[in-house]
Amino acid sequence: MVEIKLPKPEFKGKLSVEEALLKRRSVRKFSKEKLTLNEISQILWAAQGITDERWSFRTAPSAGALYPIEIYAVMQEGVFHYNVKKHSLQEIKKGDVRKELCRACLNQEYIEEAPLTIVISAVFERTCSKYGERGIRYVFIEAGHVSQNIYLQCESLGLGTVAIGAFYDLEVKKILELPKNHEPVYIMAVGHKR
């Protein structure tokens, strides 16, 4: 299995949180410019990175600190799983699946254009085992936190993103070859604004 060690994220940016909130917009047109490994690293860290080594707390709050969210990165090179503990990408599937993913997302063409698409998936059992049916709500709330972190980090880096909720779940799972219990809940196309 190919593993890509990501560069250490920066913990101080050039844009304040307030400015990022003010400027944050959904972007649906991307240039062909690829993202750097540093940019990918920063975005994935903002999504789910560890902020406290002792307790393994992450950038997004999680009910009961159970962390049901699993992040997948789709790029021209293939499909990768974000390993939070190692801050690395583990290859799941070789090759460009963006065209198929675009079709599974109701032909929203920016999925095919974007150099990076983040698939936010959830392992519901992690939260529901403690909170029962209410855990489903907590998982979706957490996915929202992760999405907002990605939005703000992209704005801070001068990049664009758009959150997508319209997709065929089973098709996305099949295309990305997700584990049986990893359910896609949100998708975000990321790239340089055009």
pTM reported for the whole predicted model: 0.96
State how far the Cα of 80 lies from the Cα of 103, in Å rounded to an integer. Answer: 19
Q: What is the DSSP string of 114-162?
A: -SEEEEEEE-HHHHHHHHTTHHHHHHHHHHHHHHHHHHHHHHHHTEEEE
Here the tokens at position 193 are 């604004």
Per residue in 68-120, pLDDT (tens digit) is 999 999 999 999 999 999 999 999 999 999 999 999 999 999 999 999 999 99
Residue spans per domain, the chain: 34-192
Domain 34-192's class? alpha beta
pLDDT at residue 1, as a whole number? 75
Share of the chain above pLDDT 70, in %: 100
Q: Which amino acid is at 13?
A: G
- The residue length of the chain stands at 194
Per residue in 14-51, pLDDT (tens digit) is 999 999 999 999 999 999 999 999 999 999 999 999 99
Report whether 95 contacts 177 (CB < 8 A): no
Per residue in 139-160, pLDDT (tens digit) is 999 999 999 999 999 999 999 9
Q: Which residue has the tokens 């009910």?
A: 63
Q: How far is CA 10 from CA 6, 39, 84, 163, 168, in A?
A: 12, 10, 16, 24, 35
For residues 125, 129, 133 and 138, what is the CA-based torsion angle, rounded to 10 degrees?
A: -70
